[in-house]
Structure 1
Amino acid sequence: MALNKPYQAYQNNAVNTASGGELTLMLYNGCLKFIKQATKDIQANNIEAKNTNIQKAQRIIQELMVTLDQEVEISQQIMPLYDYIHHRLMEANLKNDVSILQEVEGFVVDFRDTWKQVILKTRQKQHAQGEHV
């Protein structure tokens, strides 16, 4: 148990010091982790764990929906996709359907990878501006 304390402290510090963009990236990665685990749970016929992991993924998608800035134009295109992912997660949970989880995983990977690029470009821009000041 004592071995986990430094790791937990590191994780807490990472979350507490992360920027908004980094927190969003953490949410996408967490969602992917739960979707992948739910897939394994279905394959192992562990229905209770599958349900728990899909619900965790759904809560992350709900958080992304709630925190989406509706004033930003692209939000009007992202919100229906989040809604679709949320709906498909519910369907995968009801049907114990790995193929639906794989479909949803693909969407979340695309969001995550796109978000990584946004963070990198923002950092590059900030760094370039910092050099010229």
Structure 2
Amino acid sequence: MSMNAATYQKSYNNAQVMTAPPGELTLMLYNGAIKFLKIAKTAMEAKKIADTNHNIQRAQDIISELMCTLNMDVEISKNLMALYEFMNNHLLQANIQKDPNLVQEVLDLVEDLRNTWVEVIKTTRLQTAKAANGMA
């Protein structure tokens, strides 16, 4: 019996998550939230209530996971926690009011965070490469 394409994809995705460094995992979470927010906004505009709800909840699950990963001993984590709480509350209101503009506001915030995180990863890689080559 051979595995189907969905099973292969799930296995591949699981392998990616299990082998990714922590910074890459955060990036994956941001990308997942962006994906679900875009789907939710499109579903909301098409008046597909069940799809809207499902995808908003998936984005909220990711935001909740991001909240769990914060190290509250670091000052910026307190700011991120407040931002994540704002996002989750905003998505709750978006889901209740069926307002795609509220979803877009959260989507814009998550995209900004993701773009910033990409720059952090690039900088960290560059610093690590320089240190490995004795150039730090």
Same fold (TM over 0.5): yes
Moved over 6 A (4+): none
> 1:131 is matched with which residue: 126, 130, 133?
133
Give the C-alpha shift of residue 3 in structure 1. 2.5
Q: Which moved more, 1:88-97 or 1:70-79?
A: 70-79
| Consecutive unaligned residues in structure 1, runs of 5 or more | none
> 1:121 is matched with which residue: 107, 120, 123?
123
Give the C-alpha shift of residue 38 in structure 1. 0.5
In the alignment, does 2:57 pair up with 1:40? Answer: no
> 2:64 is matched with which residue: 62, 65, 78?
62
> 1:17 is matched with which residue: 5, 16, 19?
19
User: Which position in structure 2 is the counterpart of 1:28?
Assistant: 30
Q: Secondary structure at the match of 1:93?
A: helix
Q: Secondary structure at the match of 1:74?
A: helix
In the alignment, does 2:55 pair up with 1:53? Answer: yes
Give the C-alpha shift of residue 6 in structure 1. 3.1
Amino acid aligned to 2:103: L
Amino acid aligned to 2:124: T
Amino acid aligned to 2:94: A
Q: Secondary structure at the match of 2:75?
A: coil
Task: Write the distance in 1 (CA, Å) between the matches of 2:30 and 2:88.
Answer: 13
Give RMSD over aligned pairs.
1.3
1:70-117 Cα offsets, whole Å, 9 max, x none, are 011111211111111010000000011000011110000011011111
Q: Secondary structure at the match of 2:4?
A: coil
Amino acid aligned to 1:88: H
| Consecutive unaligned residues in structure 2, runs of 5 or more | none
Task: Write the distance in 1 (CA, Å) between the matches of 2:128 and 2:67.
Answer: 27
Q: TM-score, normalised by structure 1?
A: 0.94
Task: Write the distance in 1 (CA, Å) between the matches of 2:116 and 2:81.
Answer: 16
Aligned length: 133
